Amino acid sequence: MLNTNLNEIFKAQLTHDEFDKLSKFIYKESGIKMPPVKKVMLQSRLQKRLRHLNILNFKDYIDYVFSKDGLNDELIHMLDVVSTNKTDFFREPVHFDFLSKEALPQFILDNNNPKTIKVWSAGCSSGEEPYTLAIVLEDFAEKNPGFDYSIVGTDISTDILQKAVDAVYKDDRVQVIPIETKRKYFLRSKDRVNSTVKVAPNLRRKVRFGRLNFMDSYYDVPEMFDVVFCRNVLIYFDRETQEKVIQKLCAKLKPNGYFFLGHSESIMNMDVPLKQVKPTIFRRI
């Protein structure tokens, strides 16, 4: 009987009305746009949740998600499977070059007594971005005695955050990293069949992870930051939501702090407290 149920769940189809209900709900809860062209993708991803819950159709699943128990227990899991988590080490390398060659030296000049620089990777996915930042900042710290740093990574997906905390990556994920950097900052597994690497403990100690939903009215992150990376996340939101998110992120960015966007994102015609330094690189006004 269980196998029959699993087969039925695997074949569960999402009607247009059900997709409309879910897409509006997902937008309200996460800000993520789900246009009709994403119906098949949403159906495929949510079938995993139906199988896990042993629910046979999307009507019953929607009834559950919209219930009190569903809002408490299932919402976070639904958003986990809906979230897109595409990232790489040293993605858009011009940002890391600017950080190491211009932003960090300026930080040293502006602070006669070097202190800890605080960096926020907002929408950190599985950790490649914050660990890339840690590599850049650690290299800079070695050349500048007295300089220190801390990094916070946040994301809406608890599943993907656990991967970031684990800090284990397949070999192909680190191919872009120079061999000397890999030897310095990664530990290789002993399994030569399924070869992986793990970020070294000295870098992992510098990065803290936590869950944050960009739709929250206030970002409950305790500190103020010198640098905020929010790259290739806003593309999933409409323009109004993008502006609100940037405003809330800037509320946690120190005056003159740096703000980095993805190459396909823009603040043009937005009411946000940022001035452009270079394409996709800004400073807090």
Is residue 191 scored above 90 in pLDDT?
no
Count: domains in the chain: 2
In this structure, are 76 and 129 located in the same domain?
Answer: no
CB 14 within 8 A of CB 39: yes
Residues 200 and 60 in one domain: no
Residue 87 covered by a domain: no
Q: Kindly report the length of the chain.
A: 285
Confidence of residue 10 (pLDDT cuts 50, 70, 90): low
74: domain CATH number is 1.10.155.10
- On whether the CB atoms of residues 258 and 227 are closer than 8 A, the answer is yes
User: Do 22 and 107 lie in a common domain?
Assistant: no
Does residue 88 form part of some domain?
no
Domain boundary among 32, 48, 82: 82
- State yes or no: pLDDT of 202 exceeds 90: yes
In this structure, the answer to whether residues 40 and 76 fall within a common structural domain is yes
pLDDT at 2 over 50: no
For 285, counting Cβ atoms within 10 Å of its Cβ (0-12 exposed, 13-18 middle, 19+ buried), the class is: exposed
Axis crossing angle, helix 58-65 with helix 39-53, rounded to the nearest 10: 80
| Residues 6+ positions from 104 with CB-CB distance below 8 Å | 117, 137, 140, 144, 147
In a domain, 137, yes or no: yes
Lowest mean pLDDT among 126-130, 176-180, 193-197: 193-197
- Looking at residues 189-209, what average pLDDT do you find? 92
Task: Assign residue 169 the CATH number of its domain.
Answer: 3.40.50.150
pLDDT in tens, 55-111: 999 999 999 999 998 888 898 888 888 876 678 999 999 999 999 999 999 998 887
Are residues 163 and 211 both part of a single domain?
yes
Domain hosting 6: range is 2-82
Residue 190 pLDDT: 81
